[in-house]
Amino acid sequence: MSKTAQTGFPGNIIYFEDLSPEDLNVLKQSSVSRTLNAGETIFHEGEPATGLWMVESGRVKISKINPDGNEHILHILGVGDTFNDVATLDGGHNPASAIALSKVTVRMIPAASIRELIETNGQFALKVVRVLAHRVRSLAGQIENLALYSVVVRLARFLLKQSHDPNLSGPGITRTAIAAHLATTPQTISVALRELETTESIRFDRHQIIILDEDKLRKIAML
């Protein structure tokens, strides 16, 4: 998922930051904005992709359901994040579902508008390649975390990331959502939190998790 460089639309989106005012205006005029409540679906996995989406307010989860009916949250997104990049570019179907974690406002730029820019603007095409390359690196790190590290280590890494990324906190970021993102259960997350609390690296209750010793938590996270 890509992130905006600052607040606003659309020139601050990293894909579009170097575009001319004329190109930006075309994107703005072709875009569509939607507001949804928590739990409402923005799009379903397997549907034809309509375009590039961005979060203007609230939180969005990108998730898949396994054959047993369990949800895995691939990404938790907030203000300034974009999503469904790949499906927009390859003309395929949505690889996962996008669902509002809280009340959200999202905006979609049609795939045709994005593809036209790629065909006519070499600088924009190069920017897309760079952003997608960064995304591949991020996905590789996510796979490494799930395959090689325990729930305690994964949770410690998430809490450190959460402390520096406001999009990972706030409405909708429940213990259940964190569990689905870390490929485990809420009960296991509770056990892991208690284990971290015994190390005096964090303190938690039903409402908040407080990092007491970031250096100690980083050691537990193996960073």
CATH of the domain at 52: 2.60.120.10
CATH of the domain at 157: 1.10.10.10
Tell me if 12 is assigned to some domain. Answer: yes
Which structural domain, as residue segments, surrounds residue 114?
2-135
Low-confidence residues in the chain, pLDDT < 70: 1-12
Model-level pTM?
0.84
Residue 145 Cα distances to 27, 132, 139, 197, angstroms: 37, 20, 10, 21
Q: Do 43 and 131 sit in the same domain of this protein?
A: yes
Q: What is the pLDDT of residue 2?
A: 45
Q: What is the pLDDT of residue 75?
A: 93
Q: Do 122 and 72 sit in the same domain of this protein?
A: yes
Q: Do 14 and 102 sit in the same domain of this protein?
A: yes
Q: What is the pLDDT of residue 193?
A: 95
Taking only the tens place, the pLDDT of each residue in 34-78 is: 999 999 999 999 999 999 999 999 999 999 998 888 899 999 998
Q: What is the pLDDT of residue 207?
A: 77
Q: What is the pLDDT of residue 12?
A: 63
Q: What is the pLDDT of residue 4?
A: 40
Q: Do 173 and 115 sit in the same domain of this protein?
A: no
What kind and span of H or E run contains 79?
A: none
Residue 33 Cα distances to 20, 52, 83, 108, angstroms: 22, 12, 14, 6
The total number of structural domains that make up the chain: 2
Q: Do 37 and 114 sit in the same domain of this protein?
A: yes
- Exposed e or buried b for every residue in 116-148, given b needs 16+ CB within 10 A? ebeeebeebeebbeebeeeeeeeeeeeeebeee
